[in-house]
Structure 1
Amino acid sequence: MAGGLVKYRHLSRDSAHRKALLRNLVTSLIKNESIHTTWPKAKEAQRLAEKLITHAKKNDEVARRKAQGILFTPHELMPKLFGEIRERYLNRPGGYTRVLRTEPKDKYDQAPSAILELVDGPKDMRFAMTAAAVARDRMLGKRHTELTQKNVEKVTRYRRGGREEFEEMVGKIEELKLSRD
């Protein structure tokens, strides 16, 4: 069968290998809160991670069993998933993960790379980049662009104590004096 609509990426693997790969990626994502992989793998793992966090928000027996079926090391990660991560995303309607494209990881095959990360976490890259942009604008005495203002709103909207934490990060960056023209 040539072409046609595909419901998911097959990733050039049979179904058992593909499921194991995605489970491994999601387990690493929950453990480390950020992973670096190829872009197609990141997009597929993102789908599974979103479902897993939605199960965690339900916090019932069925959701716990489904989460155990996805995670490779449930005894280590279930307390984190149903504790810290569940609390972080309880009031968020969706969009718990973000995929950021990066330069190819391997210079040999030039595969498109990406970082898959949990939003509003300690390793949130957009939060840090936006804080750096605000610190630079303040240091140069410039007004923030419309895009920077939108990003400030996005990174602080669902985060508990988001504005205070953001101002703290901007202060740390200003102290480092990294922002120069």
Structure 2
Amino acid sequence: MAGGLTKYRHLGRNSAHRQALLRNLVTSLIKYESIHTTWHKAKEAQRMAEKLITLAKRDNETARRSAQGILFTPEALLPKLFGELKDRYALRAGGYTRVLRTEPKDKYSQAPSAILELVDGPKDMRFAMTAAAVARDRELGKPHTDVTLKNVEKVIRFRKDGQKQLEDMIAKVGSLKLGTSNSAAVESK
């Protein structure tokens, strides 16, 4: 159906195979909180993951049964989904996941790759990058850019003790002395 309107990406698979693939990706996402896959698979898995977390926020028997039907290992992941993740996203109206484009995983196929991650978690890439930028600016004595200030606001908005967590991460990144080694290498060239 070239050029036709589709509700979702078919991913070159039949219906059963596609559903199994997406269920597997979402199960891995809930388990590890970050997965690396192709961009198209990540965008489709993102849709299912958002719906799954919305089910967890409802926290009733119907929602539990629906979530149990999506996850491949519900006995291991339902407590995390209906406990930790439900509490983490209680105040957030949506946008529980983030897709970040990356370099292709496979040098032969060159398929566009991406990282699908849960936001506000321990593996949140934006949180780590913002902490590194703030640590670098502080170490070099430079004022923060508008983008850095906006990212600081975004990463602490829905976190409990967000400012304290950010300061801890800044201290951790600052102890690595990343800013001075890079700037010294640039100045020596």
TM class by smaller structure? over 0.9
- SS of 1:137's equivalent in the other structure is helix
Q: Structure 2: how far apart are the matches of 1:129 and 1:176? A: 14
CA positional deviation for 1:26: 0.1
> Any residues of structure 2 matched to 1:87-166 within 5 Å, and which?
87-166=87-166
Structure 1 gaps of 5+ residues are none
**Structure showing greater Rg:** 2
Could you say what the CA RMSD is over the residues aligned between the two structures, in angstroms? 0.7
Structure 1's consecutive aligned runs of 4 or more residues displaced over 2 angstroms after TM superposition are none
Please give the TM-score of this superposition, normalised by the length of structure 1.
Answer: 0.98
* Equivalent in the alignment of 2:32: 32
Q: Structure 2: how far apart are the matches of 1:97 and 1:160? A: 18
Deviations 1:118-158 (A, max 9, x none): 00000001100000000001111111111111100010000
Which letter maps to 2:72?
A: F
Which letter maps to 1:47?
A: R
Q: Structure 2: how far apart are the matches of 1:80 and 1:147? A: 33
Please give the TM-score of this superposition, normalised by the length of structure 2.
Answer: 0.94
CA positional deviation for 1:172: 1.0
Deviations 1:47-84 (A, max 9, x none): 00000000000000010011001000000000000001
* Equivalent in the alignment of 1:70: 70
- SS of 1:176's equivalent in the other structure is coil
Q: How many residues align?
A: 181
* Equivalent in the alignment of 1:52: 52
CA positional deviation for 1:2: 2.9
Do residues 43 (structure 1) and 43 (structure 2) align? yes
- SS of 1:100's equivalent in the other structure is strand
- SS of 1:115's equivalent in the other structure is strand
Structure 2 gaps of 5+ residues are 184-189
| Identity value in percent | 75
